């Protein structure tokens, strides 16, 4: 399993701690150091829409100008923004058996990863 995020993000830290406490192995993909794969973003956004992938509640989004925000209106423009500013991607993100999991929700993790 691959976990995508930014290491200093509090939500990513919670998810990593939860995974460690349940002895679930994962590979960490650091958006800041390793970049963002446009093909992966396209896959996620095609399956789920661009809106859940772009974190419009976060600091990165709030710091964008109104013009920059208005320019994000479809998958192509959302991918462009995510590549330029990976901190705008909802995190953590990971796929488990083809299911995309966004954010940190212990109940969802238990159901999805532990089958509870």
List the CATH number of the domain containing 108: 3.40.30.10
**What is the pLDDT, as a whole number, of residue 43?**
95
Confidence bin at 38 (pLDDT 50/70/90): very high
pTM of the model: 0.89
DSSP for 81-112 reads HHHH-GGGB-SSEEEETTEEEES--HHHHIII
- Spatial separation of the C-alpha atoms in residues 72 and 83, rounded to whole Å: 13
Name residues whose C-beta falls within 8 Å of residue 107's C-beta, 6 or more positions apart in sequence.
none
As for how many domains the chain has, the answer is 1
Range of the domain at 62: 2-114
- Spatial separation of the C-alpha atoms in residues 17 and 74, rounded to whole Å: 34
45 is catalytic: no
Q: At what angle do helices 38-48 and 75-84 cross, to 10 degrees?
A: 140
Average pLDDT in the 52-72 region?
96
Confidence bin at 49 (pLDDT 50/70/90): very high
Catalytic residue among 9, 54, 81, 88: 9
Confidence bin at 46 (pLDDT 50/70/90): very high
- Per-chain mean pLDDT for the chain: 94
């Amino acid at each position: 399993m691959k976990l995508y995020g930014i290491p200093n993000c509090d939500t990513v830290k919670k998810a990593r701690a939860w995974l460690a406490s349940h002895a679930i192995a994962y590979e960490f993909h650091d958006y800041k150091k390793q970049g963002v794969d446009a093909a992966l973003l396209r896959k996620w956004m095609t399956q789920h829409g661009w809106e859940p992938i772009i974190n419009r509640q976060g600091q990165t989004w709030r710091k964008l100008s109104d013009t920059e925000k208005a320019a994000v209106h479809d998958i192509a423009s959302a991918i462009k923004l995510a590549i330029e500013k990976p901190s705008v991607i909802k995190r953590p993100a990971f796929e488990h058996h083809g299911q995309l999991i966004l954010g940190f929700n212990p109940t969802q993790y238990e159901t999805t990863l532990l089958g509870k």
